[in-house]
Amino acid sequence: MISPPRSRNDFLIGIICALPLEHEAVGHVVDEFWDIKPGRAVGDTNSYSFGRIGDDNVVLVMSGMGKANAASTAASLHISFPNLELVLVTGICGGVPTSDSSAELLLGDVVISKAVVEYDFFPNKVRSKSSIDDRLARPTRHVRGFVARFETNRLRDALEDRSAIILEELQSRAEVKGQASVYRYPGADKDCLFIPSYRHRHQSDCDICTSESEEVCDASRKISCSELGCDEKQLIARKRLDQNWKLQNAGREKEAQAPFVFVGHFGSGDTVLKSGEERDRLARAHDIVAFEMEGAGVWDEVPCIIIKGVCDYADSHKNKGWQNFAAATAAAVTKALIEEYPKTDKPRKQIDDSSRAESEESSEVGRDAPIFYADVSKCNIFTGFHSSGGTQIINFG
Residue 387 lies in a domain: no
Strand pairing partners for 291? 94, 267
pLDDT computed for residue 213 by the predictor: 66
pLDDT computed for residue 329 by the predictor: 98
pLDDT computed for residue 363 by the predictor: 42
Domain harbouring 20, CATH code: 3.40.50.1580
pLDDT computed for residue 397 by the predictor: 55
* Regions in the chain scoring below 70 on pLDDT: 1, 99-102, 120-139, 207, 210, 212-214, 346-397
Number of structural domains found in the chain: 1
pLDDT computed for residue 384 by the predictor: 53
Residue 135 lies in a domain: yes
Range of the domain at 52: 13-192+258-340
Report the DSSP pairing between strands 48-53 and 304-312.
unpaired
pLDDT, tens digit (0-9, with 9 covering 90-100), for 164-219: 999 999 999 999 999 989 999 999 999 999 998 888 877 777 767 767 666 777 77
Residue 262 lies in a domain: yes
Residue 245 lies in a domain: no
Quote the CA–CA distance of 60 and 371 in Å, as a whole number: 56
pLDDT computed for residue 354 by the predictor: 38
Residue 347 lies in a domain: no
* CA-derived radius of gyration, the chain: 30
Whether 241 contacts 275, CB under 8 Å: no
pLDDT computed for residue 232 by the predictor: 84
Strand pairing partners for 388? 391
Residue 247 lies in a domain: no
Quote the CA–CA distance of 284 and 96 in Å, as a whole number: 10
Residue 2 lies in a domain: no
pLDDT computed for residue 322 by the predictor: 96
**Threshold 0.95, pTM exceeds:** no
- Residue 121 identity (one-letter amino acid): F
Residue 253 lies in a domain: no
pLDDT, tens digit (0-9, with 9 covering 90-100), for 315-341: 988 888 999 999 999 999 999 999 999
